Structure 1
Amino acid sequence: MINNSSQAIEEMKLVGVERLLGRSQIDIANILDKALADKEISVQEGIRLFEADGIDLYALMITADELRRRSVGDIITYVKTRNINFSNVCYTGCKFCAFAASEKDEGAYFIPLAEIVQRAKDAWGIGATEVCIQGGLHPRVSENYYVEIIKAIKDAVPDLHIHAFSPFEIKFGARKRGISIEEHLFSLKEAGLGTIPGTAAEILDSKIRKLLTKDKLTTEEWVSTIKTAHKLGIRSTSTMMYGHIDGPEHWANHLALLRDIQKDTGGFTEFVPLGFVHYNTELFNKHGARAGSTGIEDIKVVSVARIMLNNWIDNIQVSWVKNGPKACQIILNAGANDFGGTLMDETISRSAGAPFGENMNPEEFNRLILDLGRVPAVRNTLYEIMK
């Protein structure tokens, strides 16, 4: 039923979503019919979809997968990339993070610039088209350090795409230099920055954010930084970290805000839902957060995202690091179309206790995608098909 979404959706059209689900779930049926008619789904309707269970959950998945097919077809993409987390030293104190360390901690590290460049060269040498660079907010980096990273990599590997620095890192870098975020972003772009990760979003809800971290970007600052980047022609991903002290109301509002930004700027390349990895975090061990998202929630987040973001953000990614490759096969049948990246050296999720490794080779991506009856394709950061 799920694998053949086109056949299932035609059946739904013939018998009607109302009859398929039964009158007890007619409100969900109406929402799904509305989505199939290419009409925008409200926040309240999104919240209702998160309540789906039983047969209406399957209908939600089928509807999302049909919208995926209409938007991007049957290709499942992935990118050859290397993560370079150049330092884990950070004093922000995010309760959900198990990656950060103080300078005196035994496991604290700071990768020299020459080593960052060498890792970028090594990645290019084995076929990567992108490096993703993020790190902790080390208090003793020089004011021009972020620009220096970009310049050094571009000098060594001019054609490598640099996807780097969360909005929080951008705020930190601008403050270090004593200039505006716009000026800082412009100088990063001039140095060779290609795109930025839309991380540090967590949940874009002020009350939740105050409980997650003591001193981080506000919702307004995250939105302003992203919009400024887009205005300068620097595109970004968009993300949501869920499954901790949040819930469906926050998820639907978050998706609606991303949709509004995309309507304004058109700068998002993709949406990446990130289930909370709880094992080694203070938020779970000391502050009563849930033990991460459930598998059903992972499916619902992707399906509702596809429906709410329909016609605005085409690409929805699964996280094999957080969910595991086999679970991702299911989620890719619920509205997603991108398998993420090869990664090479992913450390942030691994520090939190994610059990699924730090690298996956293209042959394994291809095997998993072909097993779904879909078409594997290597893309670049901007979703241009490479192979």
Structure 2
Amino acid sequence: MDPREIVDAALRGLSKDEAVSLLREGDFMALAKAAEEVTLRTYGDVVTFVNNIVVNYSNVCVAKCPICAFYRLPGHREAYTRTPEEVAKIVAAAQRELGVTELHINGGFNPELSVEYFESVFKAVKAAAPSVTIKGPTMAEIDYYSRLWRMTWREVLERLRAAGLDAISGGGAEIFADEVRKIIAPYKLDGETWLRIAEEAHKLGIPSNATMLYGHVERPEHIVDHIFKVKELQERTRGVLTFIPIKFSPYNTELYARGIVRGPAPASYDVKIVAVARLILLDRVKVAAYWTSTGKRTASVLLKAGANDLVGTMYNEAVLRSAGMAGRATVDELAEIAREAGRRPALRDTFHRVLTWL
């Protein structure tokens, strides 16, 4: 299909079969052009992002996912767990020196941590930097710790919210399809459980991002199924803040060492992923160009292929860096990425309220 036909089909509502066909056989330039038109129609020419800092409370994780280069098992010489005071000190300094408005905090499955530890972390952050929004643990962490502490998801969410949690990061979604998860994250929650926890959080008034990890062993139908499930979740709850496709960086991971994934996906695939996401999601949720996983140059291209958010400055991001992706970006750098794509940059808060036009 040419771009005009793709736009018409998207506005009518793509079927899963149509979306799979576009992802598998569609020309990436035609898809980009169509997705850009849909984005401009539904959201205009504004590109947003938040000024945030990433703090990993611990790198200890017993999930041992073969896609991850960040985790360390308990007792490893490089394992760490930050104290609540240490986290609060980092956040307060970042607010003072960098003007951050959001803390993005997560870690792994650390069997040594209690719910009181997380409550202490969040309370310490709110005491040190009251105006900073806490965007906290992933659905995968909520699931693991609820089982570790013998609590329901709701009980965990309510305890963390009372301590200062404002929103949930969208990690751990990976790809919802079980046949893929068995390869890339065999000991994590399944896709349906991720969605159920997200819905529980949204019902409690705790919004979240939704992510999708691509560029490993997935097929087009897995990508499309994942995006449709995010769309359906958003239609039920209106609690998804941003849809964030994350490009898999294989270096230093078990999948790379075993030869299952030989390198990163090409940039043309990045374009097709973002474009198809926009053509499915339409105006339901912003689609991100996640520069920390694609690189800044490709992120600028993705802003002309359906994306209209750059996630954030992500100061101190460590998970992707451990897998070979560099990076941090200033507010000015992200604004320039948006301008390069012919877009109007705006600094937002966690909940997509514009704070400053740049």
Q: TM-score, normalised by structure 2?
A: 0.95
Change (3 A) 1:77 1:29: closer
CA displacement at 1:105 relative to structure 2:
2.4
Q: 1:139 aligns with which of 111, 117, 129?
A: 111
Matches within 5 A, 1:94-243: 94-125=65-96, 126-243=98-215
1:34 lines up with 2:9 in the alignment: yes
The DSSP-based 3-state class of the residue aligned with 1:149 is helix
Q: Using the alignment, how far apart are the partners of 1:145 and 1:246 within structure 2?
A: 36
CA displacement at 1:224 relative to structure 2:
0.9
1:249 lines up with 2:224 in the alignment: no
Deviations 1:344-363 (CA, angstroms, capped at 9, x unpaired) = 11000011111x32x21112
Matches within 5 A, 1:1-387: 21=2, 30-35=5-10, 38-53=11-26, 56-125=27-96, 126-286=98-258, 288-313=260-285, 315-354=286-325, 356-357=326-327, 359-387=328-356
Q: Using the alignment, how far apart are the partners of 1:117 and 1:78 within structure 2?
A: 23
Alpha-carbon contact 2:54-2:317 (below 8 Å) kept: yes
CA displacement at 1:175 relative to structure 2:
2.4
Please tell me the residue identity of whatever aligns with 1:230: H
CA displacement at 1:209 relative to structure 2:
0.6
Q: Using the alignment, how far apart are the partners of 2:7 and 2:334 within structure 1?
A: 31
CA displacement at 1:186 relative to structure 2:
1.3
Q: TM-score, normalised by structure 1?
A: 0.88
Q: Which has the larger radius of gyration?
A: 1
Q: Using the alignment, how far apart are the partners of 1:190 and 1:111 within structure 2?
A: 21
Query: Structure 2: any 5+ residue segments left out of the alignment?
Result: none
CA displacement at 1:327 relative to structure 2:
1.1
The DSSP-based 3-state class of the residue aligned with 2:260 is coil
CA displacement at 1:178 relative to structure 2:
1.9
Alpha-carbon contact 1:52-1:60 (below 8 Å) kept: no
Alpha-carbon contact 2:249-2:324 (below 8 Å) kept: yes
Moved over 6 A (4+): none
CA displacement at 1:30 relative to structure 2:
4.3
The worse-fitting range, judged by mean Cα deviation, of 287-296 and 325-334 is 287-296
Please tell me the residue identity of whatever aligns with 2:304: N
Identical aligned pairs, as a percentage?
34
Alpha-carbon contact 2:111-2:148 (below 8 Å) kept: no
The DSSP-based 3-state class of the residue aligned with 1:378 is strand
Q: Using the alignment, how far apart are the partners of 1:372 and 1:159 within structure 2?
A: 32
Deviations 1:66-123 (CA, angstroms, capped at 9, x unpaired) = 1111122111111100000111111111010000012332322221211101011112
Q: Using the alignment, how far apart are the partners of 1:319 and 1:373 within structure 2?
A: 18
